[in-house]
Amino acid sequence: MRSLQLPIMRAPVLISSLLLTIPLLPQVAGAPVPPVAAAPLPAAAPKITSVVVFPQATSQTTSQAATTQDFVLEITGTGFAGIADMSSVHIAVLPATGVTPTPIPVLSRSLDNSKILAQFTAPANYALEEVALSTGSSFVTFETGTLSCDFKSKVQLTPQIVPKKQAGDKYGNGVAKNFHAIQLSIVNECPMAIVVPLGGISVVTDHQAEQPVDNACTEKGSLVAFSLDHVTSIFSADRKLTGRRAIYFNSVQALATIGSAVEPFFAHGFTQAVAILGGGFTTASKELLVDMSAEQLQNLTSQSFGSTEQVASHGSLQKFVFVRRSEKCKEKPIETDLSTGQFSVNWELSPASAEAPKTLNAPAAKPAAAK
């Protein structure tokens, strides 16, 4: 009986040992622990932190009545990575007057998903105030604030006199002998475009106070820039009537006409001379005295300062203005100052913002001999 009771008494101990060792099996060293799946984080909503506008090349009509410009819009922010379809993103800008297309489509997104680029066309003096971005599921806006600029330090105008011979070669002798040509170089580093009217440009010489009193060469006040229409009328008169080339060919043509009228009263040799004068001699003269009027007129119309000129934000402009020249007074202080670059230019600019027009002064870039 004792031998049969031992296995029965040890069975509960073995069962208890197995039950105790079963929970410890996953704790064995080296056994892999199954990972716990994390819940996906919600995509961050788009947010705009900054906006920058980059003006592109200006396209301007010949009449200067309508001037537009292409702008590239760079939007920097967060949450752009969650936008799956960029074609569903649309952008609107304020003010919207003259802006095309509307809405503005997206050009591209940066690789780090921090920037969105778009392009639109607007007036050249366009000043951005607000941007709105729609992704289809969210809508976010950003205000740029009121634009302002220190025009005295951020906008620079540098005038420089053009030598008389160069002006004659570019614009014709008629323009060179009647006007001083002055190149104006304008650099605008402000965040908005500026408009410069021709009527606000005037020239003051350094020694204007030293002029003789009540003299024919006395210039009272500053010299104003002439309009393009006035300068081209002087150019046309020189080419057709008062210029040396015009006087020469008009005289040859007149002599040939008179000779043809009186040749019946003279010998045959006179008739041949008249034919040579009106034919071969005139043709040879045109080969020597080349007519450059077409090129000079093109230079004059394309390079002259218009009634108003617009300079884009972070842009530049180079144009020429013309002030009167007096050959009779060329030895007087005012003419000497103009010829040697000893003058300054008063000019007015109108910013494309709520600020009032500004009047500035810029000294001329003096030649080395005049410094």
Q: What is the pLDDT of residues 80-119, one digit of tens each?
A: 988 888 888 999 998 898 899 989 999 999 999 999 999 9
- Percentage of the chain exceeding pLDDT 70: 78
Q: Which residue has the higher pLDDT, 164 or 357?
A: 164
Q: Where does the pLDDT of residue 2 fall: very low under 50, low under 70, confident under 90, or very high at 90 and above?
A: very low
Residue 343 pLDDT > 60, yes or no? yes
**Does the pTM of the predicted model rise above 0.75?**
no
The larger pLDDT score, comparing residue 352 to residue 285, is at 285
**Is the pLDDT assigned to residue 263 strictly greater than 90?**
no
pLDDT for res 124: 72
Query: For the chain, what is the HEC assignment?
Result: CHHHHHHHHHHHHHHHHHHHHCCCHHHCCCCCCCCCCCCCCCCCCCEEEEEEEEEEEEEECCCCCCEEEEEEEEEEEECHHHCCCHHHCEEEEECCCCCECCCEEEEEECCCCCEEEEEEEEECCCCCCEEEEECCCCEEEEECCCCCCCHHHHEEEEEEECCHHHHHHHHCHHHHHHEEEEEEEEEECCCCCEEEEHHHCEEEECCHHHCCCCCCCCCCCCEECCCHHHHHHHHHHHHHHHCHHHHHHHHHHHHHHHHHHHHHHCCHHHHHHHHHHHHHHHHHHHHHCCCCHHHHHHHHHHHECCCEEEECCCEEEEEEEEEECCHHHCCCHHHHHHHHCCEEEEEEEEECCCCCCEEEEEECCCCHHHC
Mean pLDDT of all residues belonging to the chain? 81
- Say what the pLDDT of residue 175 is: 94
Q: Which residue has the higher pLDDT, 334 or 15?
A: 334
Identify the pLDDT of residue 1. Answer: 40
Least confident of 5-14, 28-37, 124-133, 289-298: 5-14
Average pLDDT over residues 8-31: 44
Q: Which residues pair with 134 in a beta bridge?
A: 90, 139
Average pLDDT on 258-266 reads 84
Residue bearing the bigger pLDDT, 18 or 329: 329
Domains and CATH numbers, the chain: 47-143 (2.60.40), 151-370 (no CATH)
Confidence of residue 3 (pLDDT cuts 50, 70, 90): very low
CA atoms of 346 and 224, how far apart (whole Å): 10
What is the structure's pLDDT at 62?
41
Distance, CA of 167 to CA of 145 (rounded, Å): 46
Cα–Cα separations (whole angstroms), residue 333 to 87, 109, 322, 329: 67, 62, 19, 9
Q: Please classify residue 268 by burial: count the beta carbons closer than 10 Å to its beta carbon, then call 0-12 exposed, 13-18 middle and 19+ buried.
A: exposed
Task: Return the pLDDT at 297.
Answer: 92
Query: Is 72 exposed, middle or buried, given 0-12, 13-18 or 19+ CB atoms closer than 10 A?
Result: middle
Average the pLDDT over 20-30 and give the result: 47
In whole angstroms, give the CA distance from residue 139 to residue 134: 5
Tell whether the model's pLDDT for residue 285 goes beyond 80: yes
pLDDT tens-digit profile of 163-211? 999 999 999 999 999 999 999 999 998 878 889 999 999 999 887 766 6
Confidence of residue 355 (pLDDT cuts 50, 70, 90): low
The pLDDT value given to residue 109: 92
- Using one digit for the tens of pLDDT, what is the confidence trace for 113-139? 999 999 999 887 777 889 999 988 889
pLDDT digits (tens, 9 = 90+) for 215-243: 666 667 788 999 999 999 999 998 888 88
Please give the backbone phi and psi of residue 57, each rounded to the nearest 5 degrees, phi first: -60, 140
The rounded distance, in Å, linking the Cα atoms of 91 and 265 is: 87
